[in-house]
Structure 1
Amino acid sequence: MESPPKYKFTLILFITISLSLGLVSFTLCVVSEIKRNKKEDLRWNGKLCHLPSSPAFGLGIASLVSLVLAQSIGNSILFKNYCSGGKRNARYKIPVVARILLLISWLGFAIAVILLIVATSMSRRQPYGEGWLNGECYLVKGGAYAGSALLILVTVGSLIGSALLTMKTNQADQGHKIHAQRG
């Protein structure tokens, strides 16, 4: 017997939403990489520096929010079914490969969030005498947002892979249990 249609629909809906938010976050990171401040934007008066706000600041925040939502939504369906009512659901199993993909997803998520937070905070306005850190101006290195974008793809891809493997494994287990009961 297959999974209930409601479960399949919910899982597919969550996967679609998570994938969409991940792609939005990826796109925003790519645009942030293009729109980040360049060396030509830096103003120097001999002692102090000034760096205007970059469009990458708002794009980075939007990318960060999209990534957090994608990760939250993607994981919620797995954990909701696995840990129902505070104890493990006996008929819902997460295979080893899916667990590894889930771990990769969380590691990629953590590194991408750190990169995005640092790069986005550097993209804020850095006035004369204040700068980003200790009164000094800092530019976002080329590739910081692009690296985040690649990590976002890894994060969302492994999260969706984990969900799909879990769905297929549980369908196979349910089919196997039915055949075992008949014979």
Structure 2
Amino acid sequence: MGKHCFGYALSLSIVVSLALIAFVSCVAAELHRTKTKDLKLDGKLCYLPESQAFGYGVAALACLVMAQVIGNILLCTSCSINSREKKRSEQPPKRPNLATFFLVVSWASFTVVILLLIAASSMSRQQPYATGWLGGECYLVKSGVYVAAAILILISICTTVGSAVTVRMNESRKSTTLPK
């Protein structure tokens, strides 16, 4: 059991570390996003240079996806171990309500963060004259978009970790109360 707890704690720390890297990348992207002063107009045509926010946004996206996948693998592993033990004890399976709530919140915020980061990062790429981002027009990422993504990253990962920990605590509580 000690080896499993160490591996579980190590995996959770990897998830949290990846989430913190994603959070910091979002803050860096907010600081380095394209500003209005960078916009160049030539009549009706516009030009925006590529900003460093693109790289930071992609890094945040990659780290967040890895953290979410690893966190959900931990959760699924705990749930499968838990369901095998329930089959042995012949008790009807009980769904942990708090863990399910955390999981739903995690995936909802994860989905919104992914959409925000994809849109904001693609707007941070170079937008040449007459090409723009969409329909030949230049678009700027509004201030606060990357910060909102950073906050949602924290919500997503905290609820993923919370769900995994809740399932693990329920599992350990039941294993100590079952007669051997």
TM superposition score normalised by structure 2? 0.91
- Over the aligned positions, Cα root-mean-square deviation in angstroms equals 1.8
Report the 3-state secondary structure (helix = DSSP H, G, I; strand = E; otherwise coil) of the residue aligned with 1:70. helix
Counterpart of 2:107?
A: 106
Counterpart of 2:128?
A: 127
Query: CA separation in 1, counterparts of 2:137 and 2:173?
Result: 59
Report the 3-state secondary structure (helix = DSSP H, G, I; strand = E; otherwise coil) of the residue aligned with 1:136. coil
Say which of 17, 21, 25 aligns to 1:24.
21
Question: In the TM superposition, what are the counterparts of 1:90-169 in structure 2 within 5 Å?
Answer: 90-91=85-86, 95-169=96-170
Counterpart of 1:77?
A: 74
Counterpart of 2:89?
A: none
Query: CA separation in 2, counterparts of 1:94 and 1:47?
Result: 59
Runs of 4+ in 1 over 2 A off after TM superposition: 80-84, 88-94
CA deviation profile, 1:107-159 (whole Å, cap 9, x unmatched): 11010000000000000000000000000000001111000000000001111
Q: Which runs of 5+ in 1 are unaligned?
A: none
Counterpart of 2:51?
A: 54
Moved more, 75-84 or 136-145: 75-84
Q: Which amino acid aligns with 2:134?
A: L
Shift of 1:6: 2.5
TM superposition score normalised by structure 1? 0.90
Query: CA separation in 1, counterparts of 2:66 and 2:22?
Result: 10
Identity of matched residues, %? 42
Counterpart of 1:15?
A: 12
